[in-house]
Structure 1
């Protein structure tokens, strides 16, 4: 009877993971650049402080696989985070190519998106635990009205990733656990902008570049139980090297644009490639129980965004279709949070974090109008029984106003975008986790 129940529970959990994988279609950027921290909702209330040391549910597969040794039996967690980024541009003297109307501010480039994730862990022996996670570590979507002042720089920018992460953890002794994971990740990119030829007054065409690829990576983690009340976790995720393959296509939007599109399709259109190296990350976390009711957490994390210096798209003939100068820098994130056990069934969470942007002011683009941000988070966890929990978390991200002054490499072809962004992000997450 017990085995039948376990098989049914395992089958149900695998269906949850399949739903999570199929649902990963919406994207939104909230952390630095287009990194997504929403690997769960249980950590959202703490602003993801202590992410590599908490290990309270199966989502530790992503944050630190070594934490799986703290989860007896079989565990499953499924979360959905609803993200609402806002990016509102204010024009402060922008120019457009000759013969083109100036246009407006583009509206709000952000919109609601759902980010699901699913995890399972299996305790194989007293020392060995296996796990599987499905999530989206990177994502971005900004979209402006097609007639805005910066339309020759960007209209739509969308990046989606899906990451499948089998893992295994080994309990060395009562103090130290180690974990390792393999990552299979897929990326899809879709970029659009308007194009013109100043020699054809008023000509207007749309350019669109689409591409995708898959890559392999790895992650490792360690967990030290320093004392009964203190735990330290360390985790590292490798870079992901992509060579995206896809197409570049140009569509005329008026008579002059038809001429422009025809020329560009003949010289720059067709099959294209782009090399992209998504960054590695390292995290050091502490989990400190200071009383029967209070637990405090801290986090220091680093992301190697300097791997992205330039995005260049080249067609099969070797012709450069477009080049985006990034020159991003490595970043740091610091987080602090706490959990208060209000009762045996209810815990209250809070968190505060500072998240540094990799974007330099001199090369800020409308595709990623990013700046430093401060997180303020709250959450509640309800445990209806000893083996399950429901988490609800909310975070508001206060983003520093982002100035931009960029001609995209050619003021004649793209104009010069000059102005300031007013940005913010709201995140609402829900998670269910259980043990069986």
Structure 2
């Protein structure tokens, strides 16, 4: 049964437009949030995963240097290709309460929206041209997020389904200046796709606007499909070998500027849709919007020490310049509709780990890491309840033939409990989410490396 809807009051069309704009902007913000540390994926081989990323690409004949530090390509002995498959299983369980603006508990269940495993792959190749020049290419998914809360969960007004992937193709070159020093440079092409859903409490919105509807009585589902055509960045780096046993490397990935565009659709309650149509005369409930999306700059610092032909130990530090992400603005037809604050902070990841070669065929990989979160309590979101992580990693390598090597790596991520305390904007229903998330994650990786 539909509730009777009075004629819209003066200004209600504008405020409803802002409400929808805010909802779409909140959805389109998620591809940026997905780059946060909890879902900033490892892009190296399974061996690197097993070392917790320590030492970066300074190990012998690692073609993923094409992405991480192209200077390391210069010391590769020949043409090498690797293919990696990854399986990820994050977990995020919310503990707390959801209430509407009137203080009533929001109906529904409270599932784990991150429990389903996801799979992806990447690859890299290095081609030795001569003793001073090696070319490389890599294709990977450095950032991804997938959460799927059912439409009846208690936090549906803060987000339901999110599926985001960022693909990057890198073409690079490593130049060996001499036996101790090399430089590298690469061009990075980036492409992002996202499917995002949320629910609008049109009943609360109507009640706040003076219309005779009750909270949670007229839910409207918002779905956004967003993408970005190719954007371009760069990577530069160097490697220095002060002794035969020591290697030092550093690299810098530029910020990549994007404008993410999306088409949105609204469906669900006929009453809620009627309300939005009434409040927005002449405005389609299906439309288009865009948001500026800048992937942050990163810098890596790596060190490797070779104790013996059987034992190596590495250490790394990675900085991500999240402080450049202050807000997200949604526009349509070159008009800014709404601006949302984010106020992220810069984040660091530190790792130490290495290899121990038991025999000519078998190698043990192991490492630990500490990975800071850039998010803050004021803007943390249930789509990405990101917290600082402590990582334990282990893996094994097997030299199957003279040319073929297989590696298996595993990480468990202990994520700090994080506070999520938010209130939706009044025009989105003003619902309140208050509690904390218990997070963890597992990553398994398998790599085949072939020397031609």
What whole-Å deviation, never above 9, does each CA across 1:288-341 have from its counterpart, x for those lacking one? 011232110000110011232223332227362x65532111100100002111
Alpha-carbon displacement from aligned partner over 1:319-378 (angstroms, at most 9, x marks no partner): 62x655321111001000021110111110100000000011222111210000000000
| Relative contact order higher in (CA < 8 Å, ≥ 6 apart) | 2
In structure 2, what is the Cα distance between the partners aligned to 1:317 and 1:45? 47
Specify the alignment match of 1:6 in structure 2.
none
Whether contact under 8 Å (1:223, 1:232) holds in the other structure is yes
Q: What's the CA shift for 1:287?
A: 0.7
Correspondent of 2:274 among 255, 259, 279: 259
1:364-379 matches, cutoff 5 A: 364-379=380-395
Residue of structure 1 aligned with 2:179, choices 174, 179, 189: 174
CA contact (8 A) 2:266 2:285 kept: no
Q: Which of 416, 428, 431 is 2:444 aligned to? A: 428
Counterparts of 2:36 and 2:221, CA distance in 1: 30
Give the drift of 1:402: 1.2
CA offsets 1:185-239 (integer angstroms, 9 cap, x no match): 1011222110132223301111122221121000011111111111111111111
Is contact 1:94–1:418 with CA below 8 Å preserved after alignment? yes
1:113 to 97, 114, 118: 118
Tell me which residue corresponds to 2:137: 132
Structure-1 separation of matches of 2:180 and 2:285: 59
User: Which residue of structure 2 lines up, in the alignment, with residue 151 of structure 1?
Assistant: 156
Which residue pairs with 1:205 in the alignment? Answer: 220
Aligned to 1:94: 98
Contact persistence 1:31–1:37 (CA under 8 A): no
**In terms of mean alpha carbon deviation, does 405-414 or 148-157 score higher?**
405-414
Cα drift, residue 268 of structure 1? 6.9
Unpaired runs of 5+ residues, structure 1, are 1-27
Aligned to 1:349: 365
> 1:268·1:315 contact (CA, 8 Å) conserved in 2?
no
C-alpha distance in 2, partners of 1:76/1:412? 51
Question: Could you tell me whether the CA contact under 8 Å between 2:47 and 2:408 is conserved in 1?
Answer: yes
1:68 equivalent among 55, 68, 73: 73
Find 1:82's aligned residue among 58, 68, 87: 87
Aligned CA-pair RMSD:
2.2
- Structure 2 stretches lacking a partner, 5+ long: 1-32, 207-212
Is the Cα–Cα contact under 8 Å of residues 176 and 224 in structure 1 kept in the other structure?
yes
Distance 2:153 2:432 in 1: 13
After the TM superposition, which of the residue ranges 195-204 and 44-53 deviates more from structure 2?
Answer: 195-204
Moved over 6 A (4+): 28-31
Distance 2:182 2:398 in 1: 28
Report Cα offsets for 1:2-50 as digits up to 9, x if no partner: xxxxxxxxxxxxxxxxxxxxxxxxxx96971432223322201100111
C-alpha contact 2:99 2:106 (8 A) present in aligned 1 = no
Query: Are 1:289 and 2:294 matched, yes or no?
Result: no
Match of 2:378, SS? helix
User: Using the alignment, how far apart are the partners of 1:412 and 1:285 within structure 2?
Assistant: 46
Q: CA deviation at 1:267?
A: 6.3
Question: Do the aligned partners of residues 124 and 236 (structure 1) sit closer, same or farther apart at CA in structure 2, a change above 3 Å counting?
Answer: same
Moved more, 124-133 or 300-309: 300-309
**Whose Rg is larger?**
2
Residue 55 and residue 222 in structure 1: after superposition, are their counterparts in 2 closer, same or farther (change >3 A)? farther
Q: C-alpha deviations, 1:374-414, integer Å up to 9, x for none?
A: 00000000112333210000000000011111113338614
The question of 1:35 aligning with 2:44 is answered no
Aligned length: 406
Match of 2:7 in 1: none
2:201 is equivalent to residue 186 of structure 1: no
- For 1:300, the equivalent position in structure 2 comes to 317
Cα distance change of structure 1 residues 319 and 207 upon mapping to structure 2, 3 Å threshold: farther
Alignment partners' CA distance in 1, 2:298 and 2:152: 38
2:170 pairs with 162, 165, 169, which one?
A: 165
CA deviations 1:156-177 (Å, max 9, x no partner) are 1222111110111100000001
3-state SS of 1:142 partner: strand
TM-aligned CA distance change 1:31 to 1:80, over 3 Å: farther
* Corresponding residue number in structure 2 for 1:315: 332
Name the CA shift for 1:342/1:29 in 2 (closer, same or farther; >3 Å).
farther
Residue 21 (structure 1) aligns with: none
Of 149-158 and 55-64, more deviation after overlay is shown by 55-64
Match of 1:45 among 46, 50, 61: 50
